[in-house]
A = this chain, B = another copy of it.
Amino acid sequence: MEAKREYWLGFDLGGTKMLAQVYDADWKVIGRERKRTKPGSGATGGLDRVIETTKAAIEDAGITCEQLRGIGIGCPGPVDMDNGILLQPPNLGWETVNVKQRMESIFSCPVAVVNDADAGIYAEYRKGAAQGARCVIGVFCGTGIGGGCVYQGEILQGANGASCFEIGHVQVMSNGPRCGCGQRGCLESVASRLAIASQCARAAYHGDAPYLLEKAGTDLANIRSGALANAVKQGDEGVKDVVREAARYIGIAIGSVVNLMNPDVVILGGGMVEAMPEIFVDRVARSANKRAMPAFRDKFAVKPAALMDDAGVLGAALWAEHVLGGTPSAS
């Protein structure tokens, strides 16, 4: 007799770590595995590691592949959602690779591939702070700035089924700082953790952030969101100014998107927001409302993400259920 297929597996493939979780029919986690993402191993070696991690999570759950209804994988960078292809993810340094095909051949269950920020927003839409929203947009402010959008219950998809909604690459400053994408003045170049840290390092150097200088120095690699949040608490004026200004710019980008898409919910997440939610939520909301047209002003709620770290992996599994779901195969 064939085992009943009743579990979903979610996978969050990040630039520094990967996490697989097995969910039961009530979306409880019954098995998990976490590994570091090894840099420099390319798509083939990297995908081998994804497969190992997936196998370990399945084992941890005490089930077999044949009991999985499907796997959802959230990946950084642009994704061809129609075909399950990861398109040259810059944060991984991988070449283009058909994740769906490779995974399906190993695990003999259907696989859905999705952008990680989209997965996070989809989780918020299904189980978090954006339930019931007609249009929800999300901004994740970490080392970079990611974005996601769920429109009428579906992840927004562009031409050829690509994931999109790269709000980090909306221009917010004419002739602004150079961005990793090659352009100038993108939101990411102005308001990401890296952008904030580089300005705060300068403030520390000039004596406007004595606490930060003492605790973290002026090396960007050491100026993490926790250090910045502590510096704000301890009264470093230089850090406060920079963080507030970053929040204002995030609000400007959101305000422009509000004028385009008129969302009902805006979710803020990522390490920077989690470290200083009170500053970000309030300032972003104020700045976005100022930028929005009168017809759209005060029509959207700005909320911190509710699901934190697990949003990505849960969202990938939920998305797999949504696109692969239907009824479970008969036992």
Contacts and interface: CB of A to CB of B under 8 A. Distances in A.
Interface of A: 77-78, 87-88, 133-135, 147, 149, 151, 156-160, 162, 164-167, 169-174, 181-183, 252, 255-257, 259-264, 290-291, 293-296, 299-300
A175 to B, nearest CB: 9
Given A157-B262, A159-B300, 17 more contacts: A77-B295, A78-B293, A78-B295, A134-B159, A159-B264, A159-B299, A160-B299, A162-B296, A164-B262, A164-B296, A165-B261, A167-B259, A169-B293, A170-B259, A172-B174, A173-B174, A183-B291
A210 to B, nearest CB: 30
A171 B133 CA distance: 25
Given A172-B174, A174-B173, A174-B174, A162 B295 contact: yes
Contacts of A159: 133-135, 262-264, 299-300
Contacts of A257: 260
How many copies of this protein are present in the complex?
A: 2
Contact of A252 (B158, B171, B252, B260): B171
A134 B309 CA distance: 33
A293 B181 contact: yes
Contacts of A291: 171, 183
Contacts of A256: 169-171, 256
A294 B171 contact: no
A169 B299 CA distance: 17
Give the top 10 A-B pairs by smallest Cβ distance, nearest first: A158-B262, A159-B264, A164-B262, A78-B295, A170-B256, A169-B259, A166-B259, A159-B262, A181-B293, A162-B262
A171 B299 contact: no
A226 B21 CA distance: 63
A147 B259 CA distance: 10
A21 B167 CA distance: 41
Contact of A156 (B173, B259, B261): B261
A133 to B, nearest CB: 8
A171 B135 contact: no
Contacts of A171: 172, 252, 255-256, 291
A30 B157 CA distance: 39
A213 B88 CA distance: 53
Nearest to A137: B260
